[in-house]
Structure 1
Amino acid sequence: MDKTVASAAEAVADIPDGVTLAVGGFGLCGIPSVLIRALLDQGTRDLEVVSNNAGVDDWGLGLLLGAGRLRRVVASYVGENKEFARQYLAGELEVELTPQGTLAERMRAGGVGVPAFFTATGVGTQVAEGGLPWRYDAGNVVVASPAKETRTFATAEGDKEFVLEQAIVADFGLVRAWKGDRHGNLVFRKASRNFNPLAAMCGRVTVAEVEELVEPGELDPDEVHLPGVFVHRVVALTPEQAAEKRIEKKTTRGAPPPVDPPKTPSGSSEAGA
């Protein structure tokens, strides 16, 4: 039952070229940055990644992208990574853009054994009708999304059309948790939960890096966000690794301008009264 491994390098050592990875995180929040770095150092390439986004140019999945290790990305957002946009428009990378809620449910469905589901999201658009550009070549679309099955169902609001979406099952899942025990039970902190439980669920083999490793029984069962049945390997981070967290966008402002002291009815300031 002890699922801990000594290092991130050991945890990803058997991840071969050409596999599909489900990777947790949202922007740079809750990303398994240490496992991603280990994959980069290992030289694994030709990867298909399922993730909300592809990191930024110099961190997270952006490191694998910049090194030319990704062949395909299934994501819902790509706006913060210039290299991602360049590779996509240059035909170097295949990209399947998916509505965010649909992506989340496709991953969850893969984890619980539901092969497909119907959703109203995307009906009447290229999401359902097909034609979304997946790959370019010299400015031309050479691979486009296929049309999907639609069906009408009765709802409380009347008959509505729905589109069939396929579940996602990845070869490996990579996630980051705030706390975890040796059995693989995980607790995520606040917004860093995001896509992490879903990425863990849909991976055939899931590796979790945890900021704090505790012994079995130390986690309150009611506080466990993801049970250990979905996790196969646990890597305890060093304090330095756990503390290294990038901010996706820094917004700063200067000091506010000085405020004149209030004046008394006679016109003199209170300070001089």
Structure 2
Amino acid sequence: MINKVTTDIEIILKSIPDGARIMTSGFGLAGQPVELIEALIDFGPKDLIVINNNAASGDRGLTNLLRAGLVKKMICSFPKASNSTVFEDLYKARKIELDLVPQGNLACRIQAAGAGLGAVFTPTGYGTKIAEGKETRCIDGKNYVLEYPIHADYALIYAHQADRWGNLIYRKAARNFGPIMAKAAKTTIAQVHDVVELGHLDPEHIITPGIFVQHVVRVGDIK
């Protein structure tokens, strides 16, 4: 019987090694698996490479992961937030690296990883510092930059509901990067608000099929 729901997330999180590439969903705090990220801090994996839309917001979740000194590098599209200076302070102190990726390119490159594509050509960034050292090409009279897929070892994502097979549905803006990150990681751990019985989720509403999810944990079960 397939059952991806766990009540002991510690066993899974403690297996995340130093230097792991981790995607975390969220647009600011919307859709960020706050409790899951903070549970990871207890196990202290070092030199993490974190892929997120932005470099933390507020004073929870990813902000605390950065504050704990566990992140070696951020790959994101928006590194500065009005309500958090943790990343900015670390960057100015040369304690963290930054790979700045335009938001559309970030989404496209994550999607490329999930789709098994080798690379994509995008017009975004052409003629700027972002394109320095990268292959460019003129296609049908328009200039493009070659960008490679962004893969991850783990994806920590937030969803509204799941069943024991790992099928996921999301709620409004909290959906954001979750679905594409689930496809681009070797192991996806989904933090959900509620776990429902098989058949409860309308197949037409399932955004992330369970084949892309390895573990499901309810918020209330994260210690």
TM-score normalised by length of structure 2: 0.94
User: Given the alignment, which residue of 104, 127, 134 partners 1:148?
Assistant: 134
The answer as to whether partners of 1:57 and 1:82 remain within 8 angstroms in 2 is no
Q: 1:97 aligns with which of 100, 104, 111?
A: 100
Deviations 1:213-236 (A, max 9, x none): 012211111000111111000112
Do structure 1's residue 56 and structure 2's residue 33 form an aligned pair?
A: no
Find the aligned partners of 2:212 and 2:219 in 1 and give their Cα distance.
Answer: 20
Q: Give the share of equivalent positions with the same residue, in percent.
A: 43
2:120 paired with 1:117? yes
2:18 maps to 17
Contact 1:11 1:235 in 2 (8 A): no
The residue aligned with 2:48 is: 47
Maintained 8 Å contact 2:55/2:80: no
Q: How far 1:10 sits from its partner (Å)?
A: 2.9
* Bigger relative contact order, structure 1 or 2 (CA pairs below 8 A, ≥6 apart): 2
Q: Which residue of 2 aligns with 1:86?
A: 89
Report the 3-state secondary structure (helix = DSSP H, G, I; strand = E; otherwise coil) of the residue aligned with 1:71.
Answer: strand
Unaligned 5+ residue runs, structure 2? none
Structure 1 residues 253-268: aligned runs within 5 Å: none
Q: Name the counterpart of 1:142.
A: none
Q: Kindly provide the amino acid, as one letter, of the partner of residue 148 in structure 1.
A: K
CA-CA distance at 1:204 after TM superposition = 0.5
Bigger radius of gyration among the two:
1
> Would you identify which runs of 4 or more consecutive aligned residues in structure 1 move more than 6 Å?
none
**Paired residues, number:** 219
3-state SS of paired residue (1:123): coil
Aligned-residue CA RMSD (Å)? 1.3
1:170 aligns with 2:156: no
Point out where structure 1 has 5 or more consecutive residues left out of the alignment. Answer: 131-146, 242-273
The residue number in structure 2 matching 1:215 is 197
Per the alignment, residue 68 of structure 1 pairs with: 69
Partner in structure 2 of residue 261 of structure 1: none
Q: Partners in 2 of 1:202 and 1:164 — Cα distance?
A: 19
After superposition, where does 1:183-222 map in structure 2 within 5 Å? 183-222=165-204
Amino acid across the alignment from 2:218: A
Shift, 1:57, TM fit: 5.6
